[in-house]
Amino acid sequence: MATSIVLFGPPGAGKGTQAGKIVATTGKPQISTGDMLRAALTAGTPLGLAAKQFMDAGALVPDDVIIGLIEERLTLPDAVNGVLFDGFPRTIAQAEALSSIAEVEVVIAIEVPDERIVERICGRFTCGQCGAVFHDSFNPTSVDGVCDSCGSSEMKRRADDNEETVRTRLEAYHTQTAPLSDWYGERGLFVAVDGDQGIDHVGDAILIALDSL
C-alpha cells in the first residue's frame, strides 16, 4: 500500500500555501474532502447522491460516506504513490477509519497560537476587482484603500472574518482535531511545525521533516 501524508492545523495556519510546496516536492496529489464532495455531486455518483441528501438537509456528511469517497479517490492513477490529505482527518474517529484504507507515513501539524490566528484572519482583506490579498498589519496596501495590483478601490472583507467567528472555529478545532496530535504521536507518526514564523521558514521545517523519513 502506498504511503500518504496528513497535513492539519488551525484555520489560518497556512495549510494551503504549504500543501502546494509538499505536492511539488513529493509528487503526491493534494486531496480535500470538500473537493471530493463537489466532484461527486457534479458527477452524480452514488456516494455523491448519498452526500447530497445530508447536505440538502443541512446535516454533516457521515464519516462512512467521506471514507467511501476517499477510498474511490485512492484508486485513481495519480494516487498510486500516495496522496496528501489536506485537513482530513478532523477527528480521531475519522483517523481510525482512514487507517483501514490508507497507510499514513507522517502527520504534520502546523501550530500557531490562537491570538496570532485571530490577528491573521481578522486583518485580511481582498481586492474585489482582481482578488489580490492584503492584510492590515502584514501586507497593507501602499495607498490606503487602493489595490497595489490593479488600482481598484473595491476592497472586501469576508463576513466570517471576525473575532467571534474565528474563536468559535478555533474552539471546535481544539476540541475535535487537536487530539489527533496525541493519537498519531502514540503511533510515532506526528511532527509539529512552528507556524508562527515566515512562510519560507515553515516550508523549510516541513521539508526537513519529510527528508528525515
The distance of Cα 116 from the centroid of its chain, to the nearest Å, equals 17
List the domain boundaries for the chain.
3-112+177-211
CA angle 141, 144, 146 (to 5 degrees): 70
* Total-model pTM: 0.86
Residue type, 84: L
> What gap in Å lies between CA 88 and CA 150, rounded to an integer?
36
> What gap in Å lies between CA 1 and CA 93, rounded to an integer?
21
Q: Which residue carries 489527533 as its cell?
A: 180
> What CATH number labels 3-112+177-211?
3.40.50.300
What pLDDT does residue 58 have? 79
> What gap in Å lies between CA 65 and CA 203, rounded to an integer?
33
| Confidence band of 148 (pLDDT split at 50, 70, 90) | very high
Q: What is the pLDDT of residues 7-39, one digit of tens each?
A: 999 999 999 889 999 999 999 999 988 888 888
> What gap in Å lies between CA 134 and CA 124, rounded to an integer?
6
Catalytic residues: 15, 90, 124, 158, 169
| Confidence band of 1 (pLDDT split at 50, 70, 90) | low
> Is it the case that residue 131 has pLDDT exceeding 80?
yes
Q: Which residue carries 467571534 as its cell?
A: 164
Would strands 84-86 and 3-8 be described as parallel, antiparallel, or unpaired? Answer: parallel
What pLDDT does residue 155 have? 96
Query: Which string of b and e fits 69-83 if b means at least 16 CB within 10 Å?
Result: bbebbbeeeebeebb
Average pLDDT of every residue of the chain: 93
What pLDDT does residue 60 have? 79
Q: What is the mean pLDDT of residues 146-169?
A: 94
